[in-house]
Amino acid sequence: MDNDTPPLIVDIDGTLTDESRAIDPRVMPVLREWPARVVIATGKAMPFPIALCEFLGIERTVVAENGGVVFVEATDELRLEGDHEAALAVGEAYRDLGFGQVDLANRWRETELVVSLDQPLEPLEDLAAARGLVVLDTGFAYHVTDPVVDKGTGLEAVCAELDLAPETFLAVGDSVNDAQMFDLAGEAVAVANADETALERADRVTDGTYGDGFLEAVAPYRE
């Protein structure tokens, strides 16, 4: 690698994992040895990307809950944005209709709510819209979230803290919730298993899926 290696912002599920959501062990040394800034950007609650950074031994710079939570260890900045009370109200109303179930991931969420994909989508969307929220289908869960935040606003917040420009970043992801960070990054790469929105917004699409796709996405910067 050389000094031209860009900072990297990367999704977790479907990008660093296999189809069962287990981290591909081959991505670990790549992230650990990346010579520029690494940002982990995910729909998961903050403890998940924080733990990933901890176990990788890299600085904790994370965008969680689809942009609702941003933490930058270098400046000790924690930003929470989004109407969590509205999201919780959606969940309560959804359960009152006889839908939904306890999702352990919600225990640590601070700005949004997740619902299992085996639950009906249309009533969830109606309840969310009535409270000014949207529902994202990431392929792993339904996320009830505030439209004022996304992974793009999260990237902008990280850049503001670290005096970086979003257009200097290489972004790698697989889902609709990666689209806004794709729009801002200098190069956006979708892995081959990505959904239609991510594929359309990417500058480049890999031949490989999941962890294979991530390794392919970053390969030009590791030669």
By annotation, the residues acting in catalysis are: 11
Q: How far is CA 54 from the centre of its chain?
A: 17
